[in-house]
């Protein structure tokens, strides 16, 4: 499974949303001499750790599971899916 960043450089309180999938993680890292947070999903936390460690090396700080309770298969990310236009009736 590929990594999916839901919110980049966001407020860490977004991780308290219970409507997130249960495989969502709050990632803490240092970016431009300040602490930054991403909200991301991935198949396993190990894959997510590998992606962020490869990207930020020593600036990677922590990885914490978000408060999400929804099954990832049933979770609908509204930003990802665009509504298909209606076809005119003949």
- Domain assignment present for residue 58? The answer is yes
- Domain assignment present for residue 27? The answer is yes
* pLDDT on residue 43: 86
- Domain assignment present for residue 85? The answer is no
> Do residues 25 and 65 touch, judged by C-beta distance below 8 A?
yes
* pLDDT tens column, 23-57: 999 999 999 999 999 999 988 899 999 999 999 99
- Domain assignment present for residue 89? The answer is no
- Domain assignment present for residue 37? The answer is yes
- Tally of structural domains, the chain: 1
Range of the domain at 47: 4-65
- Domain assignment present for residue 72? The answer is no
* pLDDT on residue 74: 86
Exposed/middle/buried for residue 27 (C-beta within 10 Å: 0-12, 13-18, 19+):
buried
- Domain assignment present for residue 70? The answer is no
- Domain assignment present for residue 90? The answer is no
Cα torsion angle, 60, 66, 70, 71, sign: positive
Report the percentage of the chain scoring pLDDT > 90. Answer: 64
């Amino acid at each position: 499974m590929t990594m999916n960043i839901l919110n980049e450089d966001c407020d860490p309180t977004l991780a308290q949303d219970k409507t997130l999938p249960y495989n969502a993680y709050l990632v803490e890292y240092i970016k431009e001499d300040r602490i930054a947070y991403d909200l991301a999903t991935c198949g396993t936390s190990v894959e997510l750790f590998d992606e962020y460690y490869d990207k930020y090396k020593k600036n990677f700080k922590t990885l914490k599971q978000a408060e999400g309770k929804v099954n990832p298969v049933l979770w609908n990310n509204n930003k990802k899916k665009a509504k298909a236009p209606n076809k005119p009736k003949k």
